[in-house]
Amino acid sequence: MARNSIYQEETFPSPLIRLWHSFRETKVVMIGFSCFLFLFFLAVFAPILTPYSSVENNLDYLLLPPAWDVNGDVSFLLGTDNLGRDMLSRLMHGTSLTFGLSFVVVITSLVIGVIIGSLSALTKGIKSSFLNHFLDVILSIPSLLLAIIIVAILGPGLGNTLWAIILVLIPQFVHITRNAVKEEFTKDYVLASRLDGANSLRILSYSIFPNIIEKLISQATLAQSAAILDIAALGFLGLGAPIPLPEWGAMLSNGLGLFYTAPWTVYLPGLAILFSVVATNLVGEGMRHALKQSKES
Amino acid sequence: MNLLDIRNLSIELHSSHNSILAVDRVSLSMKEGEVRGLVGESGSGKSLLAQAIIGVLDDRWHVHADRFHWRGRDLLRLTPEERKVVISQDVAMIFQEPMACLDPTASIGEQLEEAVNSEQLSGYFWQKSQQRKIAATKLLHKVGIKNHELCIRSYPHQLTEALCQRVMIAMALAKKPLLLIADEPTAAMENSNQGQIFRLLASLNQLKNMSILLISHDLENVTHWTDTITVMYSGQFVEAGTTKQIFTKPYHPYTRALLDSSPKANIELPAKSRLMTLPGSIPILQHLPIGCRLGPRCPRAQQECVQAPKVKNFHGHQVSCHFSLRDNY
Amino acid sequence: MAALLQVIELSKSYKLSGHWFNQKTVTALDPLSFEIQAYKTLAIIGETGSGKSTLAKLLVGAEIPSTGKVRLNGQTLNAENFKQRCQHIRMIFQDSGTTLNPSLTIRQLLDEPLKLNTTLNEAQRTQLIQDTLQKVGLLVDHMNFYPHMFSGGQKQRISLARAIILKPQVIILDEALASLDPSLRSQMINLLLDLQQQMGLAFILISHNLGIVRHFSDDMMVLADGKVVEYGKTADILNQPKHKFTQKLIMSQHFQLLHK
Please tell me the predicted confidence (pLDDT) of residue A10. Answer: 57
Distance of CA C110 to the CA centre of its chain: 18
Domain B2-105+155-328, classified CATH 3.40.50.300, yes or no: yes
Would the CB atoms of C211 and B262 count as touching at under 8 Å?
A: yes
- C197 touches B at CB < 8 Å: no
Residue A259 predicted with pLDDT over 90: no
Average pLDDT, 10 consecutive residues per value, chain B (329 residues): 88 82 90 91 87 86 88 85 86 89 90 80 77 87 87 89 90 89 84 83 90 88 88 91 88 87 72 80 81 86 85 88 81
What is the per-residue pLDDT for C144? 84
HEC string for C26-84 = EEEEEEEEEEECCCCEEEEECCCCCCHHHHHHHHHCCCCCCEEEEEECCEECCCCCHHH
For B59, the 3-state DSSP assignment is: coil
CATH number of the domain located at residue range(s) C5-12+26-47+66-203+235-252 in this protein: 3.40.50.300
Q: Residue B42 and residue C152: Cβ atoms within 8 Å?
A: yes
**Nearest Cα to A10, choosing from B287, B297, C158, B42?**
B287
* A206/C90 Cβ within 8 A: no
Band (pLDDT 50/70/90 cuts) for residue A4 is very low
Contact B272 C249 (CB under 8 A): no
Please report the pLDDT score of residue B290 as a whole number: 86
pLDDT at A68 over 80: no
Q: Which residues of C touch A187 (CB under 8 A)?
A: 98
CA of C81 vs chain B CAs: smallest distance (Å):
34
Question: Which residues 269-328 of chain B have a CB within 8 Å of chain A?
Answer: 280-281, 283-284, 286-287
Residues of B with CB under 8 A from a CB of C: 41-42, 190-192, 194-195, 217-219, 224, 257-258, 260-264, 266-269, 271-279, 281-282, 284
Nearest to B267 among C153, C253, C258 (CB): C258
Distance from the Cα of B296 to chain A's closest Cα (Å) equals: 12
3-state helix, strand, coil in chain A (%, to 5): 70, 0, 30
Q: In angstroms, what separates the C-alpha of C194 from chain B's closest C-alpha?
A: 9
Q: Is B235 in a helix, a strand, or coil? A: coil
Q: Residue A7's pLDDT band (boundaries 50, 70, 90)?
A: very low
Compute the Cα dihedral for B87, B91, B92, B94 and give only its sign. negative
Strands B317-319 and B236-242: antiparallel
Q: Where are the domains of chain C?
A: 5-12+26-47+66-203+235-252
Question: B216 to chain C: nearest residue by CA?
Answer: C181
Q: Residue B281 and residue A2: Cβ atoms within 8 Å?
A: yes
Contact across the interface for C190 and B275, Cβ inside 8 Å: yes
List, for residues A131-189, the tens digit of each pLDDT value: 888 888 888 888 778 878 887 888 777 888 888 889 888 998 999 999 999 888 888 88
Question: Which pLDDT value is given to residue C255?
Answer: 54
Range A7-25 average pLDDT = 71
Is ipTM over 0.85?
no
Domains in chain A: ranges and CATH: 16-46+88-296 (1.10.3720.10)
Between C176 and A6, name the one with better pLDDT.
C176
Instruction: For chain C, list the contacting chains (3+ Cβ pairs, <8 Å).
Output: A, B
Nearest to residue B291, comparing CAs of B230, B236, B239?
Answer: B236
Three-state secondary-structure class, residue B299: coil
* Interface membership of C20 toward A (CB under 8 Å): no
The pLDDT of residue B212 is 93
Say what the pLDDT of residue A1 is.
42
Pairing of strands B312-314, B317-319: antiparallel
Task: Kindly tell me if the per-residue pLDDT of A213 is higher than 80.
Answer: yes
The mean pLDDT value of chain A amounts to: 83
A to C CB pairs, distance under 8 Å:
82
Interface membership of C218 toward B (CB under 8 Å): yes
pLDDT at A109 over 90: yes
**Full-model pTM:** 0.81
Q: Of the candidates B190, B263, B276, which has its C-beta nearest C214's C-beta?
A: B263
Provide the shortest C-alpha distance from residue B284 to chain A (in Å).
6
Distance from CA of C214 to the nearest CA of B (A): 7
Give CA–CA dist B71/C103, Å, rounded.
Answer: 52
pLDDT for the residue numbered B181: 93
Looking from the CA of A268 toward its CB, the CA atoms found within 13 Å total: 25
Q: Mean pLDDT in runs of 10 for chain C (260 residues)?
A: 78 73 76 87 84 84 83 78 79 81 87 85 90 86 83 86 89 85 84 88 86 85 85 84 82 53
Q: What is the pLDDT of residue B36?
A: 93
Residue A177 is classified by DSSP as H
Q: Is C103 on the interface with A (CB under 8 A)?
A: yes
DSSP H or E segment with residue B207: helix B191-208
Judge whether C200 is closer than 8 Å to chain B, CB to CB.
Answer: no
Of A1, A191, A197, the CB nearest to C151: A1
Report pLDDT for C19: 58
Task: Name C227's bridge partners.
Answer: C224
A to B CB pairs, distance under 8 Å = 7
Domain locations along chain B: 2-105+155-328
Nearest alpha-carbon partner for C185 in C219, C152, C137, C159: C152
Q: Residues 3 to 22 of A: which have CB under 8 A from any B CB?
A: 7
Q: Is A2 on the interface with B (CB under 8 A)?
A: yes
Give dist(CA C204, CA C223) in Å, integer. 14
What pLDDT score does C72 carry? 83
DSSP, residue by residue, chain C: ---SEEEEEEEEEEEPTT-SSS--EEEEEEEEEEEE-TT-EEEEE--TTSSHHHHHHHHHTSS--SEEEEEETTEEPPSS-HHHHHTTEEEEPPPSTTSS-TTS-HHHHHHHHHHHH----HHHHHHHHHHHHHHTT--GGGGG--GGGS-HHHHHHHHHHHHHTT--SEEEEESTTTTS-HHHHHHHHHHHHHHHHHH--EEEEE-S-HHHHHHH-SEEEEEETTEEEEEEEHHHHHHS--SHHHHHHHHHTT--PPP-
